[in-house]
Amino acid sequence: MSPRTRDPSPPRSDAPATDAPPTDSPTDHATGAPKASPVSGQGAASSSVKAPDPTRTVAKSSRDLLALRGMGTAELKELLSRSRAMIPAAMGRADQSHILRGRAIGLLFFEDSTRTRLSFTMAAQRLGATTLDLASGGSSVSKGETLIDTALNVEAIGAAALVVRAKQSGAAHQIAQPAKVPVLNGGDGRHEHPTQALLDALTIAESLGRSAAFDLKGLTIAIVGDVVSSRVARSNIAALTALGAQVVAVGPPTLAPKSMASLGCKVEHNLDQVLPTVDAVMMLRVQFERHGTEESGAGPKASSIVSVRAYRDGYALTSARASMLKPHAVVLHPGPINRGLEMDQDVADGPRSAVLRQVTHGVAVRMASLCWCLGVPA
């Protein structure tokens, strides 16, 4: 990725963030990218690439981490190997607290989060940085301030980088336009969740003996469940296919529509046929809160699963289904898990499960990502 350049007159809005459409702003069905600006309401938001502005280049070595779609394989591998190198420090077994000492990282979580928010916090702390921690419930967003104004104020207070989580697809891109500091996307609507996919790729590579070069050629990875609502799935499809893996999206036609094949994955509806063929299986939560109406283009209708029972019958990773997997196959889930719906207790806690390793790797990935975005050698 090239050093970032800035738009001198980015689109701004006085519309309060609370007026911004929550999950039902029209998005592209396959990419999850917004068709119109989700935060400013002006103009179309780019899915991953900002229009370069030759007149204004700041902080030569800094860069955003907004999406994995479009990122080159070499850059992905560099981020993954930097993340792997951070694992000892992430686990408290090595000290890297000199790297960002004296800096502050703005954590702008406009949507609920446990793992992403806490692991960015831990990552900042392990690197010696402090955090400016905003939770939307306790901020001026609830008084009508826009996400962009809030972000620029946190930058003005002194944040060296901004991590943004929002329910609007494209929110991090919109904030990155006027921000002078690097912006990391901590999950935007149904669009992308780049650090989650990096930690997933790191976990898969490590579990399957591919973490020396992060070459995933010859591996098949299933992503199962509510794929169409999932920013985790979209970032994973981008990353895993760029690393050479074959990705199969599996779910009922309402949640894994054939149109998702345009992202470079296969789409299947029969989980029992797919399971014996895969090296890793990533289960997704049914994201009821992101189900909108078809008219809005927001994704599947609220009635997109016939019943919880029917969904479980077809798509839950039960103990019986897990026994169909190849002996070495690994099971992942980004969390939060709805035990009993998408995954059985025994599988979530069983020997194949990499779920908690994913979470630990999340700290290492976020340490590496903060350094990478700030242009700090690590």
What are the two backbone dihedrals, phi and then psi, of residue 244, each rounded to the nearest 5 degrees? 105, -5
Q: From the CB of 193, what's the least distance to ligand NCD, in Å?
A: 5
**Residue 131 near residue 107 (C-beta atoms within 8 A):** yes
Q: From the CB of 349, what's the least distance to ligand NCD, in Å?
A: 18
Angle at the Cα of 64 (from 58 to 66), degrees rounded to 5? 150
Q: From the CB of 277, what's the least distance to ligand NCD, in Å?
A: 25
Binding ligand NCD (rule: CB under 6 A), the pick from 45, 71, 172, 232 is 232
Q: From the CB of 188, what's the least distance to ligand NCD, in Å?
A: 9
State which residue has the least CB distance to ligand NCD: 285
Q: How many residues bind to ligand NCD according to rule CB under 6 A?
A: 11
Q: From the CB of 165, what's the least distance to ligand NCD, in Å?
A: 8
Query: Coil, strand or helix: which one is 362?
Result: helix
Q: From the CB of 34, what's the least distance to ligand NCD, in Å?
A: 16
**By the rule CB under 6 A, 23 interacts with ligand NCD:** no
**By the rule CB under 6 A, 27 interacts with ligand NCD:** no
Task: Provide the b/e sequence for 178-196 (b: ≥16 CB within 10 Å).
Answer: bbebbbbbbbbbbbbbbbb
Give dist(CA 289, CA 375) in Å, integer: 36
Helix (H) / strand (E) element for 361: namely helix 355-374
Q: Please, which of residues 329-358 interact with ligand NCD by CB under 6 A?
A: 334-335
41: left (phi over 0), alpha (psi -120 to 50) or beta: left
Q: Please, which of residues 271-290 interact with ligand NCD by CB under 6 A?
A: 285, 287
Q: From the CB of 333, what's the least distance to ligand NCD, in Å?
A: 9
Q: In sequence order, which residues have a C-beta less than 8 Å from that of residue 361 and are 6 or more positions away? A: 83, 87, 90, 199, 202, 203, 206
**By the rule CB under 6 A, 116 interacts with ligand NCD:** yes
Binding ligand NCD (rule: CB under 6 A), the pick from 231, 234, 291, 321 is 231
Nearest of 53, 26, 349, 38 to residue 185 by alpha carbon: 38
Q: Which is nearer to ligand NCD, 299 or 334 (CB)?
A: 334
Q: Which is nearer to ligand NCD, 99 or 202 (CB)?
A: 202
Build a one-symbol-per-residue string for 159-198: x at contacts with ligand NCD by CB under 6 A, - elsewhere. Answer: ----------------------------x-----x--x--
Sign of the CA dihedral running 205, 207, 211, 216: negative
Residue type at position 142: S
Q: Which is nearer to ligand NCD, 47 or 287 (CB)?
A: 287
Footprint of ligand NCD (CB under 6 A): 115-116, 187, 193, 196, 231-232, 285, 287, 334-335
